[in-house]
Amino acid sequence: MDDLISVIVPVYNVEKYLVQCIDSILNQTYKNLEIILVDDESTDHSGKICDQFSSNENRIKVIHKKNMGLGLARNTGLENANGKYVVFVDSDDYLSNSNIKNLVAGIKKNNSDICIGEVNP
C-alpha cells in the first residue's frame, strides 16, 4: 500500500479559491491522502466550505482555530498529521492531478527526506 501523505491547507478568507484548491487535492492520482484544512478563524464562508467538504469526504479533517496566522495554522496541521510525508498547499492555489504522485516518486527515487515542487505560472 502507498504511504499516507498528509496535505495541510491553512485557510483564511479564501472562499473565492477554496473549492478549486480542495477539488485539486481530492482529484490527485495518488489517493492515500489525509487532507487537513486548518480554518484560521475565517470571517467569510471558508470555514463552512471546509465543513461541507469534510461531511462528504472521509479523507478530510477540519480544524477550526483562533486566528494566529499562517505559521501557527501550519503548525496546527503538523500536530494533527499522521502521514509519512507532509505537503503544504496554500488555499488560493491548486495542484495538477499528478503533483503528489510526482513528489512521492522523487522522494523514493532519490531516497530523500524532502522534495520541493516547482511552481508553474
Q: Which domain holds residue 103?
A: 5-110
Alpha-carbon span 38 to 18, nearest angstrom:
12
120: in domain: no
Model's pTM, two decimal places? 0.95
CATH classification of the domain holding 69: 3.90.550.10
Number of structural domains found in the chain: 1
User: First-to-last CA distance in the chain?
Assistant: 33
Query: Averaged in consecutive runs of 10 residues, what is the pLDDT profile of the chain (121 residues)?
Result: 95 98 98 98 98 98 96 97 96 96 93 81 58
75: in domain: yes
